[in-house]
Structure 1
Amino acid sequence: MVYHIQQVCRSEDVTLPTSEEVPNMPVTRTQILSAQFECYLKIIRDPPHNEDGTFCNRTWDGWMCWDDSAPGTAMQLCPEYFQDFDPAEKVTKVCNSDGQWFRHPESNRVWSNYTLCEMFTKDKLTVALSMYYLAILGHGLSVVSLIITLCIFSYFKSLSCQRVSLHKNMFLSFIFNSICTVIWLSVVAQDQELVASNPIGCKILTVLNLYMFGTNYFWMLCEGIYLHTLIVVTVFVGEQQLGWYYLLGWGFPIIPAITHAVALNFLQTVYKWFVNGITSNPHHLILSFCLQVNLFFLLNILRVLVTKLQVTHSAESNAYMKAVRATLILIPLLGAQFILVPWRPEERKATTIYDFIMNIFTHFQGLLVAIIFCFCNAEVSASISKCIKRII
């Protein structure tokens, strides 16, 4: 068996890359040596190939380990050693019909095809940078628009009511979420050394991101419950105790955020915390459930309001109908990314379009909330117009 390993090594003409060939050489060389050692152990420990017919022997090609292969093309995902390589692409290695690994016609050396690993890296980097700046722009616009919205609702006393108090808390949750996301994107996401070191500060920021992201949807749920209680349960009469809404909107999101973070701490690195933490099943299923419950509430409210309008045509019913319409528009807008997640296309251009749409729905949510609840609100427009007229 030792002789077999020596043959494998020589057959590949193995040479480790030099520091001129690969950036961040110390880390890369350590990773390759570790992978090489694991490969040789695997070659020794795996049982011999028992199937009849011709096959190519297991081997180490200098960067990756290959199992015994039947004639044809073997494939693996690209290694993560090099920054210029895309781990989502494939490496191919051809096994000839005579049971020998394919040799490159120019060098006559056994050859693995790593071409795809860096073929689209520049294009993907360009797309990634575009998405990064789109995210920064979206959250920046969201923060500015929501602060303006908060100022408007706080300044005009004529707009004050319990429903507006809920609006303000929802606006605050979107502001905090955008601030946390911008901090992550600016400080952590671009610092690979910081990500690799996985400090406690990054974990805390990730939990905060999960929590703030959750508060957005729980405050949307509060909006739906409030309207449902106001219209369907109490039939337009009486005020509600807002303490329970504060507990649901700010308190309850702590539970899924902490639970999800604890699970991720055992399973993933801090980088995967963020990549999977915001969009992976355990957390977003809870948020998706909030949206579904909200949709049920609002459809029931709509049914009651339509019935009452047919009978009374009261101005109060019309006012509530406008509030319901605004919330009904917002729910599918905020939940679009949850609907689209399972259908991520594999084709490159379609994937780019998909990621662009997902970024719009994810990072411009605060701006959408401000537009629907404030800038397109007739009561707000009327209050601002009266103020301008008084000044003039």
Structure 2
Amino acid sequence: MSDVTMGSLITCFVTAAMLTQSAGTLQESWEPAGYTTESMATDVRLSRIRIISAQYECYLKIISDPPYEKDGSYCNRTWDGWLCWDDAPTQSVAVQQCPDYYQEFDHSEKASKFCAENSLWFRHPESNRTWTNYTQCTAHTRDNQKVGCKVLHFIHLYLTGCNYFWMLCEGIYLHTLIIVAVFVEEQRLLWYYILGWGFPLVPAIIHAAARSNYFNDNCWMRIDTHLLYIVHGPICTALVVNLFFLLNIVRVLITKLRVTHQAQSEAYMKVVRATLILVPLLGIQFVLFPYKPDGRLTGEIYDHVMHIFMHFQGILVTTIFCFFNREVQSAFKRQWSQYKVQYSHQLTSTEGSHSNMTSLTEFTGYSLTQTINNNRTNGKDCAEILVLKEPGISM
């Protein structure tokens, strides 16, 4: 063994010996906590100390173990940074348990290291450095993460489909209400529930099955595949159908406004207002502006507007169709007036009850005073009468 190697070993011994005691102390006092910044830092520090301690023990083993005595060439015993590997014959694979330094590692799995024909440990072709196969140590963790990620992506695609198909349900309902008014009473909400909540499951399930079999990338996040049209195709169809409903509703509104013989400018303003109201309700903005502009500023404006229409659609529709509606405002005013009248009536009744109680108290006090006075008077009269009735006193 060369002087340089011996010097490196001595340096390693000194460093590891200084940290081994600290590792033992930390192992006794450290307990897993939540994934806070402090606990994660403690976990990393503990892992590093344990690795240095294992390195120290490995170099002791390398020095103390007897030399390789089998026939044939072999790869020298070594420390790869995580595990200690014994001498191994050429064209063989050394296998041992995965280290338990990290929570992400599965200690029940195996790590492997290949001894090449030239009596050197295998080098990775990309880095040209000695390489140990630890992929199985995290395979279970990665598989669980992939499954959970794909499930979340499936739910995301399903809810996205529900969003657009409920827009289609709104378009169908309004179109039926305005254009085919004779069938309004025959509309059943069950069919809208099936279309809005049930139908988006079909493309989402088909997409998941197709992705699993033909394009099973990490989390199904890549967009360079035509399989996305399984989900996007029905969504685009729903938007195009809603655009047809919008145009037909505007046509009917213009026809009815012309029949009423109103001023043309006022009629057009009503049509424009009705159209603008229906655009966020039916999702027509995605058809009118399907592509994002190339400019940075215009692109950001496009993103913000589209996100407002998409994520705050419920608030927009409620504000436009409910709070800005004159009938709804009148109903609110009526309800508020009734509430004020009821409150005033209750207040008046409370004051009247208080006045009656006061009068009753005064009356009771007055009666009690009169009774006491009468009793006093009667007592005096009785005394006088008794005196008059004494013997020897004439009446």
- State TM-score, norm by structure 1: 0.41
Larger radius of gyration: 2
- Relative contact order, CA 8 A, sep 6+: which one is greater? 1
